[in-house]
A and B are shown apart, each in its own frame.
Chain A
Amino acid sequence: MQKLSLRDKIKEARISAADSFRGGKLMSSIFRPGSPFRKGYVDSPRNRSYVVMNNVLYHLHPVKVKRHGVRLSYTLCLGGLSFFLFIVLTITGIWLMFYFRPTELAYVDIQNLQTSIAFGSLVRNMHRWGAHLMVLVVFLHMSRVFYHGAYKAPREFNWVIGVILLLLTLLLSFTGYLLPWDQLAIWAVTVGGNMAGYTPVIGAQAKFGLFAGLEATTATLLRFYVLHVLFLPFIIVIFMAVHFWRVRKDGGISGPL
């Protein structure tokens, strides 16, 4: 029997410790069979299927997808990135909520956030640029869908849901625009609200409903805030769920062309 060097012994001990941890009760209770985080994972077709199938990911992805659909050049990952930006915005947005009050203090809160809170400026910037980026990416996603003719049967209805998602994205962005309560915010929203005021017949009512008054005030701020952090995200998540579900039920990604 060959004598092991100390180094080998340590290595062996480490491997066996890792193995017994990965094979232990805790890890097997967290990760379901087939997970790469379990002991004894090997890269086999069966396990590749299990990674998705035995996982919460199964809610988003099927086990297998069309070969042409995974080519980055087909979807450009734009739909996925729209969704991912939404998640980033949710996370940074919740963080911002800790420091923000939708009242006369809103402006001061943003100032303080930028000057006296760690990473405040960075997170605010991420939330803002992320929002602009999301509008852009969703728009690009729509264009890619259009150019591929991916709205054609049986995907017509997913296009309808998509347009609703686009509107919701714009509304989210627009309601968020008011929240810093600076001159840019209030006047951009005033311009938008005044456009609504030109609606034939119900113009005045539409404007009044949007502003919670005759012009942009802190009442408008509160209204936009509730819409922005609660109502619209809630609605958009529901529509996204239907959107993703339909992508799968309509037979996965369209094409190839």
Chain B
Amino acid sequence: MVDIPEHLLLRTAEARAKALGISVEQALAEMKGQSEPTIISKEPDAQLLEETAVQEAEVPKSEPDVEKPKEEPAAEKTESEVITPIKEEHAAETPQKVAAVTIEEKPAAKAPAPAPEKPAAQAPAAKVSAPPAAAAKNGAPEEVDFAPEVKVTQRLLTVVKAKPIQKPVAEPVDKVNTWPHLMLPEFVSLMAMTAFLILLSAILQAPLLEEANPNVTPNPAKAPWYFLGLQELLSYWDPQIAGVMIPLVLGVVLWMAFPYIDRNPETNPSKRKFAIMFYTFFLAGAGVLTIIGVLFRGPGWNWTYPWIDGIWFDDLLDWIHFE
């Protein structure tokens, strides 16, 4: 048998002494088998035994009950390809794994757990510890009727919730193999893009006007299309007054900082209506300004109608002059 450390032994002895109303030395001696045990109870309590047994039998049963419904949906959606990290879900959801912590009383002590006379009344308390003291208060006769064969050696002391050794951090995610599920679509869209680009290049000639001449200013002089919205905007106010680069740089910096400004963690569109509206307005504004710049601006940056006055947009020269 394992040697019990002295301090534990002492503590047990103290508890026992208190319970039985004997001195600590006496209890210690009894536990070490150096003295005859003090016997209080009349008989080993059958019901206590039963209850303990029932408790232990019942508890494990409840475990799969709680767990099953949780596991099934996951099992449904996950096909063979899904990684389920080593029982993560299992560990996370395990409700109460109940461990019965038992105290083994040394047979050497030959002291059965004293049982009360009226088990029914004592039953709840019995789970925690046998209440001999209470029994004594109840006036239980200190009858010595002890059958060594029927020893109560185990009691349910406490219920401990099991904790997984590895703490799961992430929920299992529904994943598929990159090859072929991602790489094939990628390959297809890449081929489609190539085909589109070659086709476009075959039918639409890139513009090449006369050689650069600093002395001949075309009218209008337009920026590349992605800056035309900006050029249009700047035509509304004197750029000297508005300043150009500073607002632009500020805008870019603010745009970069956007994720730090928008602290709403929601990604659901219905819960970030403002952000969506904001960007949609931005898109619409930029789109309208660009279209105006491309199609509706002619010589002197004056308003023109493409269907009346024609289009001043040399990027698409080949297309505009297509007959």
Check A122/B201 contact, CB under 8 A, given A153-B265, A183-B212: yes
User: Is B252 positioned at the interface, with any CB of A under 8 Å from its CB?
Assistant: yes
Interface contact B221-A198, CB-CB below 8 Å: no
User: Is B186 an interface residue, CB under 8 A from the partner?
Assistant: yes
List A residues 123-143 near B (Cβ within 8 Å): 124-126, 128-130, 132-133, 135, 139, 143
**Does B158 lie at the interface of the complex (its beta carbon under 8 Å from any beta carbon of A)?**
no
Among residues of A, the one whose C-beta sits closest to the C-beta of B317 is A184
Of B3-11, B17-25, B146-154, B174-182, the stretch lying at the interface with chain A is: B174-182
Asked if residues A129 and B197 are in contact (CB atoms below 8 Å), the reply is yes
Per the 8 Å Cβ criterion, residues 175-210 of A in contact with B are: 177, 180-188, 190-192, 195-196, 198-200, 203, 206
When each residue 246-260 of chain B gets 1 if its CB lies under 8 Å from chain A and 0 otherwise, what string results? Answer: 100000100111111
Residues of B within 8 A of A69 (CB): 182
* B190 interfacial contact with A, CB 8 Å: yes
* A49–B177 touching, CB < 8 Å: yes
What residues of B have a CB within 8 angstroms of the CB of A10 in the complex? none
Instruction: Tell me if A174 counts as interface (CB < 8 A to partner B).
Output: yes
- Point out the residues of chain A lying under 8 angstroms from B276, CB to CB: 147
Picked from A77, A191, A196, the residue with its CB within 8 Å of the CB of B186 is: A77
> Smallest CB–CB gap between B281 and chain A, Å?
12
> Do residues A107 and B221 form an inter-chain contact, with CB atoms below 8 A?
no
Kindly state whether residue B225 has any CB partner on chain A within 8 Å: yes
Is B285 in the interface zone, CB < 8 Å from A? no
B314 at the interface (CB under 8 A from A): yes
Query: For B181, what are the chain A residues with a Cβ–Cβ distance below 8 Å?
Result: 65, 67, 70
Using Cβ atoms and an 8 Å threshold, which residues of chain A touch B176?
Answer: 64-67, 70
Bin chain B's interface residue count.
35 or more
Q: Tell me which of A129, A151, A167, A177 contacts B224 (CB under 8 A).
A: A177
Find out whether the CB atom of B221 lies under 8 angstroms from the CB atom of A187.
yes
Q: How large is the interface on A (under 10, 10 to 19, 20 to 34, 35 or more residues)?
A: 35 or more
Contact check, A191 vs B190: say whether CB atoms are below 8 A apart: no
B220 to chain A, nearest CB (A): 9
Of A64, A203, A217, the contact of B83 (CB 8 Å cutoff): A64
Closest to A133 in B: B197
A187–B222 alpha-carbon span in the complex (Å): 7
* Chain A residues, Cβ within 8 Å of B272: 149
Closest approach, in angstroms, between the C-beta of B233 and any C-beta of chain A? 11
**A212 in the interface (beta carbon within 8 A):** no
Q: Is A48 an interface residue (CB 8 A)?
A: yes
Q: Are B177 and A124 interface neighbours, CB within 8 A? A: no
A159, CB-defined interface residue at 8 Å = yes
B224 and A174 contacting across the interface, CB-CB below 8 Å? yes
- Bound-complex Cα distance A188 to B255 (A): 26
Bound-state CA distance A180–B210 (Å) is 10
Kindly list chain A residues whose C-beta atoms are within 8 Å of the C-beta of B320.
none
| Contact string against A for B residues 239-279, beta-carbon threshold 8 Å, 1 for contact and 0 otherwise | 11011111000001001111110101111110010011001
Quick one: which of B200, B207, B211, B226 contacts A173, CB cutoff 8 A?
Answer: B226
Contact of B180 among A48, A164, A203, A257 (CB under 8 A): A48
Contact with B along A41-70 (1 / 0, CB 8 A): 000010011011000010001111111111
Produce 1/0 per residue, B211-222, CB < 8 A to A: 111101110011
Alpha-carbon distance A139/B260, docked complex (angstroms): 20
Q: What are the residues of chain A within 8 A of B47 when measuring CB–CB?
A: none
Tell me, in angstroms, the Cα distance from A57 to B208 when the chains sit together: 40
Q: Tell me the minimal C-beta distance from B110 to chain A in angstroms.
A: 63
Is A95 positioned at the interface, with any CB of B under 8 Å from its CB?
no
**Interface locus among A18-26, A79-87, A223-231, A239-247:** A79-87
CB distance from B76 to the nearest CB of A (A): 14
Separation of A143 and B287 alpha carbons in the complex (Å): 13
CA distance A135 to B200 in the complex (A): 16
Given contacts A182-B209, A257-B268, contact A66 B175 (CB under 8 A): yes
Q: How near does chain A come to B156, taking the closest CB pair, in angstroms?
A: 45
Query: What are 21 sample pairs from A and B whose C-beta atoms fall under 8 A apart?
Result: A48-B177, A64-B81, A65-B182, A66-B174, A67-B175, A110-B208, A125-B204, A130-B197, A132-B225, A132-B315, A155-B259, A174-B227, A180-B208, A181-B212, A183-B211, A188-B221, A188-B223, A190-B221, A191-B221, A195-B223, A195-B231
In the complex, given contacts A81-B189, A160-B257, A163-B255, what are 12 additional A-B residue pairs having Cβ atoms less than 8 angstroms apart?
A67-B181, A70-B185, A122-B201, A125-B206, A126-B197, A151-B258, A183-B213, A183-B218, A188-B224, A192-B224, A195-B244, A196-B245
